[in-house]
Amino acid sequence: MKVLKVFTNYQSDLRLQGVFGMRSPGKGTLPMDEFDRYRTEMNEKLLGSNHLGIKRFFALDTQAYEDGALDKRTKELLGLVASTVLRCDDCITYHIQQCVNVGVTRPEFLDAFNVALVVGGSITIPHLRRAIDRLDQMLQTNGDGDGGSIQAHEH
């Protein structure tokens, strides 16, 4: 029981510090820049290990989302739904960013979130709450709160 409480406190502390790029009580909107910085730094550390298996997996992951029979946009939406069903907040954030960059609209995001909810069940709702918060942050950053297409921007 004590381990669970410590882990729960650790998670709360991380959320309040904005590691997940979410809103924090009393602190307003935290930028997604922290998420991007941390992700980049840790990816470089992992890839810098020169472990062949890790490098191969990263390459496979990159190639999976390139245009093929399905376009990148469709694949990113699939990645978003799968990440939501698997309840991976970092993955959800990453795929929201990628979807924004390829012009997914707010109504399309909501349809994807609905599919994830139907497939994943009510346990995905907390992740959908964080996902919509992240999406709103990105829409606000891109100046597109009206639900239309989102212009890509550099991170």
Residue-wise pLDDT for 11-68, tens only, equals: 444 443 444 444 443 343 357 889 999 999 999 999 999 999 999 999 999 999 999 9
> DSSP characters for 30-88?
PPTHHHHHHHHHHHHHHHHTT-HHHHHHHHHHHHHTSSSSS-HHHHHHHHHHHHHHHT-
Taking the domains of the chain in order of start, what are their residue ranges? Answer: 69-155
CATH superfamily placement of domain 69-155: AhpD-like (1.20.1290.10)
b/e for 48-69, b at 16 or more Cβ within 10 A? Answer: eeeeeeeeeeeeeeeeebeeee
Q: What angle do CA 139, 141, 142 make, to 5 degrees?
A: 65
**Distance from CA of residue 55 to its chain's centroid?**
21
Both tokens assigned to 21: 């790029």
Q: What is the pLDDT of residue 142?
A: 78
Both tokens assigned to 42: 């840790």
Q: What is the pLDDT of residue 64?
A: 97
Q: What is the mean pLDDT of residues 80-93?
A: 97
